[in-house]
């Protein structure tokens, strides 16, 4: 069984992977311009801040954008009953 690499909150590798995924998924649909623009701004801010707390904040924002992409694609799992 293949294990996923462990990522810590606000690690640069996790943020870069998340940002790249957002760009690929959302850039294909022009209707998602706002989401792409917001993720670009959050990624830029993440790269500029030095505080771990601030980096964690922008990592959380990017995670939220990734969830939004999945929801817009209809790829979220249905709620459990």
Mean pLDDT of successive 10-residue stretches along the chain, which has 81 residues: 61 76 73 78 88 87 80 71 69
Nearest to 39 by CA among 21, 60, 57, 62: 62
**Is 3 a domain residue?**
no
Number of domains comprising the chain: 1
**Is 5 a domain residue?**
no
Q: What is the pLDDT of residue 4?
A: 59
**Is 57 a domain residue?**
yes
Q: What is the pLDDT of residue 48?
A: 92
Q: What is the pLDDT of residue 47?
A: 87
Tell me, yes or no, if the pTM score tops 0.85.
Answer: no
Q: What is the pLDDT of residue 15?
A: 74
**Is 67 a domain residue?**
yes
- With residue 18 as reference, give the H or E element that holds it: helix 12-27
* Dihedral class, residue 74 (left if φ above 0, else alpha if ψ from -120 to 50, else beta): left
């Amino acid at each position: 069984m293949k294990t996923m690499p462990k990522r810590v909150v606000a690690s640069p590798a996790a943020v870069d992977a998340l940002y790249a995924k957002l760009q690929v998924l959302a850039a294909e649909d022009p209707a998602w311009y706002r989401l792409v623009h917001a993720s670009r701004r959050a990624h830029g801010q993440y790269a500029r801040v030095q505080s771990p707390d601030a980096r964690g904040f922008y990592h959380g924002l990017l995670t939220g954008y990734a969830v939004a992409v999945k929801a817009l694609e209809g790829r979220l799992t249905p709620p459990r009953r």
